[in-house]
Amino acid sequence: MAQQSTAHQASLTRQGQSNSTGDVRALYLKLFSGEMFKGFQNNAIARDLVMKRTLKNGKSLQFIYTGHTKAEYHTPGNSILGNSDGAPPVAEKTITVDDLLISSAFVYELDETLAHYELRGEISKKIGYALAEKYDRLIFRAIARGARAASPITKSGFVEPGGTQIRVGTTDKAANAYDSTQLINSFYDAAAALDEKGVSSEGRVGVLNPRQYYELIQAVGSNGLVNRDVQGSALQSGNGIIEIAGIKIYKSMNIPFFGKYGTKYGGDTAVIPNVADPGNTGSFVSQTMEDAQTSVTGINNEYGTEGEFANSCGLIFQREAAGVVEAIGPQVQVTSGDVSVIYQGDVILGRLAMGADYLNPAAAVELIAGAATGSSGNAAF
């Protein structure tokens, strides 16, 4: 039996193998993870703006509220055994982890061979985008709910501040949501409300629809929104850091916005802001908000229904407004071995397990337009 000659056998370099030993795809897996995390981090903003905790060995996490107390004058001879009213009152809020959130794709090995571009990295980034989008949307919905809620402290004789709704403008026109002057006034009103409710000025942020954000950018210089030294770069880049009354402003397509995510096109009516559809926007723009109640499979926290955000057009909050718990942080898994041989390809799976809810309603402000505060579609949950 003839033996195969090895005299001129090529020395194969396996670029996915660590130190030329072991799994020939080991390093590829790390590349995929990096791409997914990059996609997640670039798209998610809410995660770092609220209280985030990691959950281990449990299904929910408890947050404790402590109410106010008072100072008393001491009567000589009396024992000091705590305030006579038993203050401060204490309450709790529990956030439960929702079911496992996943996004996946099957990559056929032949497609990779024929493709003239790097396929897996792009797919991994898109998986990261999908997870980040859902993550932000749930947190922002929780904050909007908090802006309509009363304090969890219910001890008799102790009234703690609850959430705040502020109408943009003085009329019922939804188009007020895009009026930079009205928006600026709303930010100052929100800052005053947060001050009056004893909310820390540290970590206050506002999140607006992109068109609202750019309306404010265009007003730089006439309304004193940013320091004059950075005015030029702010106008040219469209990413200037705007602060109004100490509130740093972000833009996102994931906030509740007139019953949609991101934007809503239409005419100047009481329920639709005056923004023309630019055309060819695709199915991922102006998405209808899905119901996300505890009755929906996979949801273990209350995030509300589409109709409950019919007039919402922006959020202003301090980091104590909401909390998010993570049992499994954003991560990626890729099949290999026998599974890859059988299917001649790999499944790239991104996953996370998280839950969100409002914590301190006093730290949450919801901007609304097209209706008065507390009106239909904006009643307390």
pLDDT tens digits, 212-227:
998 888 776 655 555 4
State the maximum Cα–Cα separation within the chain, in Å, rounded to a whole number.
Answer: 110
pLDDT band at 2 (very low <50, low <70, confident <90, very high): low
What is the structure's pLDDT at 237? 45
Dist. CA 37–CA 350, nearest whole Å: 9
Dist. CA 211–CA 218, nearest whole Å: 11
Dist. CA 196–CA 143, nearest whole Å: 19
Give the mean model confidence (pLDDT) for residues 142-171: 88
Q: Tell whether the model's pLDDT for residue 377 goes beyond 50.
A: no
pLDDT for 59-112, tens place per residue?
A: 888 887 777 777 878 889 888 877 777 677 777 888 899 999 999 888 888 877
Give the mean model confidence (pLDDT) for residues 39-52: 85
Do the Cβ atoms of 313 and 257 come closer than 8 Å? Answer: yes
Position 241 in a domain: yes
pLDDT band at 206 (very low <50, low <70, confident <90, very high): very high
What is the structure's pLDDT at 228? 46
Domain with 304 in it: 26-66+88-368
From the list 5, 23, 12, the residue with the least C-alpha distance to 337 is 23
Which amino acid is located at 8 in the chain? H
Count of positions (residues) in the chain: 381
Handedness of CA 147, 148, 153, 155 (dihedral sign): positive
Position 272 in a domain: yes
Dist. CA 372–CA 172, nearest whole Å: 7
Q: Tell whether the model's pLDDT for residue 180 goes beyond 90.
A: no
Q: Tell whether the model's pLDDT for residue 346 goes beyond 80.
A: yes
Position 38 in a domain: yes
pLDDT for 256-294, tens place per residue?
A: 998 888 777 776 565 666 677 777 777 666 677 888 888
Q: Coil, strand, or helix at residue 186?
A: helix
Position 323 in a domain: yes
pLDDT band at 355 (very low <50, low <70, confident <90, very high): very high
* pTM recorded for the entire structure: 0.82
Q: What is the mean pLDDT of the chain?
A: 80
User: Residue 231, exposed/middle/buried by CB under 10 A (0-12, 13-18, 19+)?
Assistant: middle
Give the mean model confidence (pLDDT) for residues 309-332: 92
Find the CATH number of the domain harbouring 361: 3.90.1690
Structure tokens that stand for 112 in this block: 């990779």
What is the structure's pLDDT at 10? 53
Dist. CA 340–CA 334, nearest whole Å: 10
Domain count, the chain: 1
Position 97 in a domain: yes
Position 13 in a domain: no
Position 4 in a domain: no
Position 373 in a domain: no
pLDDT for 286-317, tens place per residue?
A: 677 888 888 888 899 999 988 899 899 999 99
Q: Tell whether the model's pLDDT for residue 197 goes beyond 90.
A: yes
What is the structure's pLDDT at 141? 95
Q: Tell whether the model's pLDDT for residue 238 goes beyond 80.
A: no
